Amino acid sequence: MKSIRRQLLLALLSAITLTTLLGALATYRTARDEANAMFDYQLRQLALSFRDQVFQSGRQHDFAFDEDAQDFSIQVWRPDGTRLYLSHPRKGLPDKTPMGFATVDTARGKWRVFGMQQGGQTIQVAQPMHSRDELALAAALRTVAPLLLMLPMLGVLIWVVVGRGLRPLDAVARAVTTRTAVALDPLPADRVPAEVVPLVLALNDLLDRLKRALQAQREFIADAAHELRTPLAALRLQVQLAERAVDAAERADAFSELNGGLQRATHSVQQLLTLARQEPGGGDLNHTAVKLAEVAATVIAEQLPLAEARSIDLGAVPSSSDGVVSGDPDALRILVTNLVDNAIRYTPPRGKIDVAVGEDGRGAFIEVRDSGPGIPAADRERVFDRFYRRAQTDEPGSGLGLAIVRTIAERHRARVLLDDADLGGLRARVEFESRRSRP
């Protein structure tokens, strides 16, 4: 696992070290340029100091100096090329050079030479370049050495400062560890640095969604347990009646009731499983381009036998649009199936159900219109609650159909609208967000 503190320490120390080395290079070059200017001045002044010296003709004046005690070499020539004076005998000293300053290569390295003529004599003063470089390097090291020695101290200070800067993250981490499934209170965001506020707000949003999901799960389990208790008790009672049957006819009636109870319990369990799968966290949706017209046609074909058994005219309204949306085909099929199934349940015999698909300025839609009794405006919001069934209805059901429809619609960023249909019953319309308006 990567450590932010270690990364910051290495990055900052590397940056400081690199900056120090670049500064040392710049200092060295500056010191070398200044040393060259100063030594060039000394060469010229030293040459000028010999212009009034008189050397006897025909005699060479040699003066030996210690190799490490003298960096300058002075030579004086007569006009005929005879050397009259040599201050520092060395091997490979530069010979006569042009007048003025020049840098020459010799067997002993580069030399900086200044030459001038005075009184018929040629005076040459030379200095090895390595002496200048050594002096420049020494000056640069004296300047940079304190900074290099301070690097360990800077490392400790950076470690401490970064640690204190990351302390709010540690506080947030400790606060998160105190949250449990039953205590998902939001994290305080009033005493954290501005850089940590987005993280705290994101965590609070996550905690809020997790809290709502857990609350919905607890409510779902409680409601499911409550709703299953009644059909299971009825099944147990019907089994007991079948056991106590005294003849074949009574036993057949009891088993018929038992079979009906099993079908209702099976339907309730299937609806519960469907709702659980469609809840947030029940699995990711496989979003593809879905034609609502094809989904509607598939559902109508599946539900047509049920509608014909009740003498209900079930069909699709012709449309020029396929109603293409981005969604999960299976989930959308379940959504339409529940709408059509509800319409079949509550539409009286010889009634009519129309399924329409289309697009308008707001996006694609699908709606199911029936000629049933409809739903009063006061109950149109409550029918989306789990297990809610209106007291005026005698149709069997689990009260989960419209709850499943809304859950699937919300996961597709769609909305479900209930109002009066032109057939006299209910119109259930699902409007999908336009794909062009999505971010």
Does 189 reside within a domain?
Answer: no
One domain for residues 55 and 90: yes
C-alpha distance across the termini of the chain, in Å: 34
Residue 432 is classified by DSSP as E
User: Which of these three, 242, 277, 312, is where a domain ends?
Assistant: 277
Domain co-membership, 320 together with 408 = yes
42 and 69 housed in the same domain: yes
Q: Are residues 394 and 326 in the same domain?
A: yes
Does residue 222 fall inside a structural domain?
yes
Question: Could you tell me if 409 and 333 lie in one domain?
Answer: yes
- pTM for this model (two decimals): 0.48
For residue 288, how many C-alpha atoms fall within 13 Å in the half-sphere facing its CB? 8
181 found inside a domain: no
Domain range for residue 219? Answer: 197-277
The verdict on residue 337 lying in a domain is yes
Q: Examine the pLDDT at 219 and tell me if it is beyond 70.
A: no
- Do residue 241 and residue 313 come from a single domain? no
CATH code, domain with 248: 1.10.287
Question: pLDDT tens digit string along 47-58?
Answer: 787 766 655 554
Is residue 173 one of the residues assigned to a domain?
Answer: no
- Residue 162, in any domain of the structure: no
Answer yes or no: is 180 within a domain: no
pLDDT per residue as tens digits for the range 90-114: 555 666 667 888 887 776 778 888 8
| Residue that finishes a domain, picked among 88, 123, 156 | 156
pLDDT tens figures, 239-266: 777 777 777 787 787 777 777 767 766 7
Asked if residue 146 belongs to a domain, the reply is yes
Can you give the CATH number for the domain in which 357 is found? 3.30.565.10
Q: What is the number of structural domains in the chain?
A: 3
One-letter amino acid identity for 189?
A: A
Token representation of residue 17: 């070290």
Tell me the per-residue pLDDT of 344-403, one tens digit each, with 9 for 90 and over.
888 888 889 999 898 887 788 889 999 888 888 877 777 777 666 655 555 555 566 777
**Domain termination residue (choose one: 252, 277, 302):** 277
273 lies in the same domain as 306: no
Q: Are residues 25 and 46 in the same domain?
A: yes
324 and 225 in a single domain? The answer is no
The strand pairing partners of 111, in sequence order, are 104, 128
Q: Are strands 313-316 and 288-291 parallel, antiparallel or unpaired?
A: unpaired
Mean pLDDT, residues 74-89: 73
Q: Are residues 85 and 217 in the same domain?
A: no
Q: At what angle do helices 329-346 and 248-278 cross, to 10 degrees?
A: 140
Cβ burial 119-155 (10 Å sphere, 16+ → b, else e) = eebbbbbbbbbebbbebbbebbeeebeebeeeeeebe
- For residues 262 and 292, membership in a common domain is answered with no
Considering the domain architecture, whether residues 31 and 117 belong to the same structural domain is answered as yes
Q: What is the pLDDT of residues 174-210, one digit of tens each?
A: 878 887 777 777 877 777 777 777 888 888 888 888 8
